[in-house]
Amino acid sequence: MAVTTNDLRNGMTLDLPEGLFSVVEFQHVKPGKGGAFVRTKLKNVRTGAVVERTFRADERVEQAIVDKREMQYLYRDGADFVFMDSSSYDQMQVSPASLGSAANYLKEGDSAVLQVYGAEIVGVDLPAAVELAVAETEPGVQGDRVSGARKPATLQTGLVVQVPLFVNPGDRIKVDTRSGDYITRA
């Protein structure tokens, strides 16, 4: 669907010749001399790279309609993740590459919003924090209570995060899905 650059909004997805881009921010500029233009900051949906690009005012760009579907993660099938659509109950196999870093935070039974463009998954919306169990970590040494001291812990999904010394194997912890940092014990 073609739209003009005057219709741009934050979060809108554009199908440009260079790829699929999400509008991070935009600014209409009307200089004293010359024509008006739109300065934008665009994020590549597939790679995450942010680029700045300037368009003429009223320039036509192709808007990509990205379908957001709530899906539940069921199980792993080989390397692929199997999801079920929460409304139609259709199952879909998704490669780990399509999920990106979101694969580190998904455990069986979790829900996520998959962003689908055509037949391709272009993004995953996760909650801000998820609860995961600690699969293994070294035991904290008694008396070793240096403030802010951390140790690596491997979680049930295989993700390794830095946790405080008092966290033990089997504990459930909250992890920030945007940064991958430990938040608190659950």
> Which CATH number is 58's domain given?
2.30.30.30
What span, in angstroms and rounded, lies between the C-alpha atoms of 101 and 112? 13
Are 38 and 84 within one domain?
no
Contact 175, 129 (CB under 8 A): yes
pTM greater than the 0.75 cutoff: no
Residue 133 to residues 20, 38, 125, 160, 176, Cα–Cα distance (Å) = 35, 47, 21, 12, 14
Dihedral angle over CA of 54, 56, 60, 66, nearest 10: 30
Q: Containing domain of residue 43, as a range?
A: 2-62
Q: How confident is the model at residue 7 (pLDDT cuts 50, 70, 90)?
A: confident
Are 71 and 119 within one domain?
yes
Phi, psi torsion values for 104, nearest 5 degrees? -70, -15
pLDDT at position 140 over 80: no
Are 48 and 96 within one domain?
no
Q: How confident is the model at residue 138 (pLDDT cuts 50, 70, 90)?
A: confident
Are 57 and 81 within one domain?
no
Contact 110, 146 (CB under 8 A): no
pLDDT at position 100 over 80: no
Q: What is the pLDDT of residue 92?
A: 84
CATH number at residue 171: 2.40.50.140
Are 121 and 135 within one domain?
no
Q: How confident is the model at residue 147 (pLDDT cuts 50, 70, 90)?
A: low
Rounded to an integer, the average pLDDT of 59-73 is: 86
Domain end position, chosen among 90, 110, 125: 125
Q: How many structural domains are present in the chain?
A: 3
Are 54 and 80 within one domain?
no
Which has the higher per-residue pLDDT, 38 or 2?
Answer: 38
pLDDT at position 159 over 80: yes
Are 133 and 119 within one domain?
no
Contact 167, 161 (CB under 8 A): no
Mean of all residue pLDDT scores within the chain = 83
Q: What is the pLDDT of residue 41?
A: 92
pLDDT tens, residue by residue, 72-97: 888 888 888 888 888 888 888 888 87
Are 6 and 58 within one domain?
yes
Are 143 and 173 within one domain?
yes
Domain end position, chosen among 62, 89, 105: 62
Q: What is the pLDDT of residue 67?
A: 84
Are 53 and 74 within one domain?
no
Are 85 and 104 within one domain?
yes
Domain end position, chosen among 103, 125, 147: 125
Q: What is the pLDDT of residue 146?
A: 63
Q: What is the pLDDT of residue 114?
A: 87
Are 56 and 87 within one domain?
no
Contact 106, 157 (CB under 8 A): yes
